[in-house]
Structure 1
Amino acid sequence: MTVFEEKTLPTQDEAQSTQLNSDSSDSDTNTISWDGHQDPENPFNWPISRKWALTCLAAFTTFLTMMNGTIITVGHIEISDLFHVTEKSFPNSYWPVTTWAIGGAFSALFILPISEDFGTRPVFLGTYLTLICFLIPQAVAQNFATLVVTRFFAGACVAILANTAAGVVGNLWETEYARTIPVSLYILGYMSGSSMGPVMGAAIYQSLGWRWISYMQIIWFGALFPIYYFFFYESRGSAILERRARKMRKNGASVRAEDEKPTSKLNFQSLWVSSTRPIILVMTEPVLFVSTMWSAFTVGTLFIFTQSVEQVFIGLYGWSVSQTGFVQCSIVIGECIGWSLNFISRKLYFASASRNTEIPGVPIPEARLYMAVLGGVFGISGGMFTYAWTSYPSIPWIAPAISLALVGAGSVLVVAGVSDYVVDAYSQYAGSAMGAVATGENIFSAFLPLATMSMYNTLGYNWASTLLAFVSLVLSLIPTLMFVWGKEVRARSPFMNEMIKNAAKKNADLV
């Protein structure tokens, strides 16, 4: 999931005109910044059409790359037969998806902190080509181990690409209000990509076989590369300033850009801090722990469907594997509906500023969770309950399919609400906080579906889904406590206190 940088975005007031300021470490080296409030190279000042074009391209990239995680699941029977993988008592064929998710968790903790020192464009293009390279051995694999290992690195690449796309949103949209819709669009791409994987995989598998699932990805990723090369512009402000400084240095000027690092050597101490802080935060902050569990379970539920939908619809209606892949399109439809409800969430959040007694004029952080709780209770829990008790051969297949759509709608509301809330509540530590959430989501996606086969075989279709519904209901109701005691909880947290101080200071400056 999204990994935000742990620094506040510069405002237009802070974007001073280009000037040469004395550098503290070298009196002969000067620092350059933006050329006034309307500097056209500042991403905040780009034309609105260019901003939306790049935002939509980033969201589409997230959607396309996230499909890579689940697209292979529909071919598991043929893969198991070819490589002699047994699935009698354990879904061993799911290991390529498990290692894919583990690769994403590893990347979020250790690789992304390094990549943040570079611009979005070189990181994105380099990782994009690397992903294509790891798709090739998947297509021609001669043993199961090749799939398991290469999928780990593919998952790591997808995590970098998705988070780089998320970073584009923060680079382009300056205000919190302006970022709301672009962020929700990114989350829709993130969620629907995972759900669309089995649908797209079923279409390819039915006509061409499982190897063509990887071949087709190589084709479309390769065909799209020229578009990314020419239109995925550098959007990180610091990288643009560094490029400007390098050009000036070629002309003989002794300058450097703001935040430009004097050396490119890897700082292992900084890497260790950035990698361990998410773990420390999630273990010491109850609010972050619950938020991580809630979002992680929600994302894990979507991955569970790659296993349970096949079991349920084959067992009840005698469908083929391809047909069970197609029915998961209902989840994607639900996710699109959930995204549209984010407009209501946006309105409720900013309207809460009028009744904020803690910091008047600033929206209440917990207002981010209003629609998330409704989505969790009525969408995910309600959808899982109806999915459970419409799982009878006598009930038409459309009933459990509608239930899947309810879960899809609720999942987008929950993940979007949790992401926004964590960023608001942990302010300058948002990067580490979201790193914890992203790691939790990948871990649940990796291991939760491994228990699906045993759970549905042991408990039955009805009670297995009911159990998931109860877990989701509890996780959705716990955050309601923050509606009453949110102010007191934030006051006791040294990390969340930073948000209060920053918001108060910013509000005072505006006044």
Structure 2
Amino acid sequence: MVFARGDVSGHDEQAIDHNDPGSNIEIVSWNGPKDPENPYNWPLRQKWTLTLLAAFATFITMMNGTIITVAHAAINEEFGISDADFPHSYWPVTSWAVGGGCFSLLILPLMEEFGVRWVFLLAYVAFVCFVIPQGLAQNFVTLIVTRFFAGGCVSILANTSATVIGNVWDTEKARNIPVSLYIVTYLVGASIGPVIGAPIFEFLSWRWISYLQLIWLGALFPVYFFLFKECRGIAILGQRAKALRKEGKMAYTQHEIDSEGTSMMMIVARSATRPLVLFFTESVVFVSFMWSAFTVGTLYLFTQSVEQVFVGLYDWTPSQAGYIQAAIVVGEILGWVGTLFSGKIYFDSAARNTEVPGTPIPEARLYLAIVGGVLGISGGMFTYAWTSYANFPWIAPAVGLAMVGAGSVIVVTGISDYVVDAYAKYAASAVGIIVTGENTFSAFLPLAAMSMYNTLGFQWASTLLAFISLALSFAPILFVVYGKQIRERSPFMKEAMLEKRRKSFDSSV
């Protein structure tokens, strides 16, 4: 998705006249394939610095979504909210996730036009501004509204990692570890919120949960301001062109010329509608949407069900229930190690690819993801379900939580990698609708947790979730078996495969 600014003539006093042979327009591009300012040519240390900064930003901002869940009783008491018939205390998390879904489709494309650095820094400052009223809120509505915008800012900050990775790592092999690192920090950040929030709430108060976030966000801002460099190639070339225009030259990037006359509204409309087209016409996108969204939604559901189960079985406090969610985090880290083996399986598949010889098979990304879904998420939910008895030690259901955590990282990583490989230049739109699904399920699935676990009981409520996860894990097997036929019927995937064939042919010549 290329986000255009509008009429290129708005950049300075000079307008581009394509029909004037004497205009002497200079097309600004890289100074050869080894241009040191091209992010693909940056030193390895510089690439990893930016990648790790982006991943850490993902981690510290994602925890904002769930960090206050351990303090719901105190917030309810202060604002006169009741959870007797419905989990109203979850609305601040719901609004946060809805904000993330809205902003991810509308604001993230700005990075394609204005570059990564300034959009990131402005979103960072805006996020801090919306954390302040979370700590100072004098009514429940203020908390819900400010968290909507905070969630929107986080969707930009947390997804910066994906943009950075695509801008500085130029091959699939080079991107393999950075992508898996991004996904594990994304999921761990969401899961660790209650773990970090529990001691803050226990020893201070629920308002200090926001105050401490302000302290560490403020302390880190100078680090990001000075070290977070621009990595978007179009933006770097645009800065070169602007400098040349100040010298009186008619210098423009190809992107500026191509974008001439294209309004912002036109591109926003295109970037917002293409994901919907893929969702309704592509079976792969639809199944990936449901599988990934349910997986991430389940992690958010644990912020509700874990407290119900562990308080109900072991008479724990909400803070203690927050600590036990560290089991999910441990599982997610172990799952990240598993994704490294998934990468090896994928690249080894190139040796047996008869469709595009020498190129890995896209469906190979799903092999370990299916195993992670069946054994990790479904198996973990079954374990969590049928060890939820008071006569079982607390470690037993905690093991189930860890299994789900491990499976979730493997599944989400496999889905992301597969969609990117299969859809190539349309991957941003496909991933965009999947992220929207993850935010939607994270917002609303946990609202059903209290009623479901009270009505069905701890065992059968988790069993129901396990069977849904099992069904979703079996569906992608069809993609593995009929992958070639599915790709041939999809105009989007067919175009991606033709591009791979062309590149494979060029490299062999």
TM range (shorter): over 0.9
Q: Distance in 1 between matches of 2:296 and 2:141?
A: 26
Aligned residue number for residue 435 of structure 1:
432
Q: Distance in 2 between matches of 1:397 and 1:405?
A: 13
Aligned residue number for residue 155 of structure 2:
159
Q: Using the TM superposition, name which of 477-486 and 449-458 deviates more.
A: 477-486
Q: Distance in 1 between matches of 2:77 and 2:368?
A: 45
1:270 aligns with 2:277: no
Assess if the C-alpha contact under 8 Å between 2:57 and 2:158 holds in 1. Answer: yes
Aligned residue number for residue 492 of structure 2:
495
Q: Distance in 2 between matches of 1:305 and 1:194?
A: 11
2:43 partner letter? P
Match of 2:89 among 89, 93, 104: 93
Structure 1 residue 252: Cα displacement = 2.5
Aligned residue number for residue 9 of structure 2:
none
Query: Any idea what SS the aligned residue of 1:214 has?
Result: helix
1:134 aligns with 2:130: yes
Query: Any idea what SS the aligned residue of 2:107 has?
Result: helix
Structure 1 residue 499: Cα displacement = 1.3
Match of 2:310 among 309, 313, 319: 313
Match of 1:328 among 325, 328, 334: 325
Aligned residue number for residue 301 of structure 1:
298
Q: Distance in 2 between matches of 1:264 and 1:334?
A: 50
1:362 partner letter? T
Aligned residue number for residue 374 of structure 2:
377
CA change 1:351–1:284 in 2 (3 A) is same
Q: Distance in 2 between matches of 1:404 and 1:252?
A: 63
Assess if the C-alpha contact under 8 Å between 1:118 and 1:239 holds in 2. Answer: yes
1:205 partner letter? F
Query: Any idea what SS the aligned residue of 1:374 has?
Result: helix
Q: Distance in 2 between matches of 1:452 and 1:318?
A: 19
Structure 1 residue 37: Cα displacement = 1.8
Q: Distance in 2 between matches of 1:334 and 1:414?
A: 13
CA RMSD of aligned residues (A): 1.5
Q: Using the TM superposition, name which of 173-182 and 277-286 deviates more.
A: 277-286
Identity, in percent, stands at 61
Q: Distance in 2 between matches of 1:168 and 1:125?
A: 14
Q: Using the TM superposition, name which of 291-300 and 254-263 deviates more.
A: 254-263
Match of 1:38 among 24, 34, 38: 34
Q: Using the TM superposition, name which of 413-422 and 22-31 deviates more.
A: 22-31
Matches within 5 A, 1:192-341: 192-260=188-256, 266-341=263-338
Query: Any idea what SS the aligned residue of 1:117 has?
Result: helix
Structure 1 residue 360: Cα displacement = 1.0
Structure 1 residue 427: Cα displacement = 1.3
Q: Distance in 1 between matches of 2:471 and 2:125?
A: 42
Assess if the C-alpha contact under 8 Å between 1:372 and 1:417 holds in 2. Answer: yes
Structure 1 residue 212: Cα displacement = 0.5
1:105 aligns with 2:101: yes
1:47 aligns with 2:35: no
Assess if the C-alpha contact under 8 Å between 1:6 and 1:428 holds in 2. Answer: no
Query: Any idea what SS the aligned residue of 2:255 has?
Result: coil
Assess if the C-alpha contact under 8 Å between 1:376 and 1:473 holds in 2. Answer: yes
1:243 partner letter? Q
Q: Using the TM superposition, name which of 427-436 and 256-265 deviates more.
A: 256-265
Structure 1 residue runs of 5 or longer lacking an equivalent are: 8-21
Aligned residue number for residue 19 of structure 1:
none
1:346 aligns with 2:343: yes
Q: Distance in 2 between matches of 1:72 and 1:258?
A: 47
Q: Distance in 2 between matches of 1:291 and 1:341?
A: 20
Structure 1 residue 276: Cα displacement = 1.4
What do residues 14-57 of structure 1 show as CA deviations (whole Å, max 9, x unaligned)?
xxxxxxxx984663321111111221111111110111111111
Assess if the C-alpha contact under 8 Å between 1:139 and 1:211 holds in 2. Answer: yes
Match of 1:355 among 352, 375, 394: 352
Assess if the C-alpha contact under 8 Å between 2:2 and 2:113 holds in 1. Answer: no
Q: How many residues align?
A: 493
Matches within 5 A, 1:361-510: 361-510=358-507
1:277 partner letter? R
Aligned residue number for residue 16 of structure 1:
none
CA change 1:510–1:6 in 2 (3 A) is farther
CA change 1:458–1:291 in 2 (3 A) is same
Q: Distance in 2 between matches of 1:43 and 1:278?
A: 28
- Taking structure 1 as the reference length, the TM-score comes to 0.94
Structure 1 residue 495: Cα displacement = 1.3
Structure 1 residue 298: Cα displacement = 0.3
Assess if the C-alpha contact under 8 Å between 1:241 and 1:258 holds in 2. Answer: no
Assess if the C-alpha contact under 8 Å between 1:6 and 1:431 holds in 2. Answer: no
Structure 1 residue 84: Cα displacement = 0.6
Structure 1 residue 165: Cα displacement = 2.4
CA change 1:338–1:264 in 2 (3 A) is farther
What do residues 333-388 of structure 1 show as CA deviations (whole Å, max 9, x unaligned)?
11010001111101100111111111111111000001100100000000000000
Query: Any idea what SS the aligned residue of 1:252 has?
Result: coil
Q: Distance in 2 between matches of 1:175 and 1:493?
A: 25
1:313 partner letter? F
Query: Any idea what SS the aligned residue of 1:233 has?
Result: coil
Q: Distance in 1 between matches of 2:70 and 2:260?
A: 47
What do residues 159-191 of structure 1 show as CA deviations (whole Å, max 9, x unaligned)?
011122220011110111100100100001101
Query: Any idea what SS the aligned residue of 2:113 has?
Result: coil
- Taking structure 2 as the reference length, the TM-score comes to 0.95
